[in-house]
Amino acid sequence: MEIFDIVDEKGIPTGETIERTQAHKKGIRHRTAHIWIVREQNGKAQLLLQKRSAEKDSFPGRFDTSSGGGRAGGICNTGTSRRTGNPGI
């Protein structure tokens, strides 16, 4: 079970937490971290995306950032990026 810090409209933690599925179900604000991979090929910049699993509870089967995820309570952005980053990319 993942626990997220709830944040206000400015991204400041409120001191409350919520479980991941409830945050998504209820549309509760929480922090996320995303890794965007851009490469140059044939003189053009390319943004690499991933297709989300059809089993995901939010936006199944849609294209998304190269890697990303919710930021667990008490974890910094760097820690979240390391946790959500795919070793294969």
89 confidence band (pLDDT: 50, 70, 90): low
Task: In whole angstroms, give the CA distance from residue 3 to residue 23.
Answer: 9
> Does 56 have pLDDT greater than 80?
yes
66 near 35, Cβ under 8 Å?
A: yes
Residue 79 is predicted with a pLDDT of: 53
pLDDT tens per residue, range 28-37: 999 888 889 9
69 near 86, Cβ under 8 Å?
A: no
Task: In whole angstroms, give the CA distance from residue 71 to residue 13.
Answer: 12
> Does 86 have pLDDT greater than 60?
no
Task: In whole angstroms, give the CA distance from residue 47 to residue 28.
Answer: 29
pTM flag (> 0.85): no
80 near 67, Cβ under 8 Å?
A: no
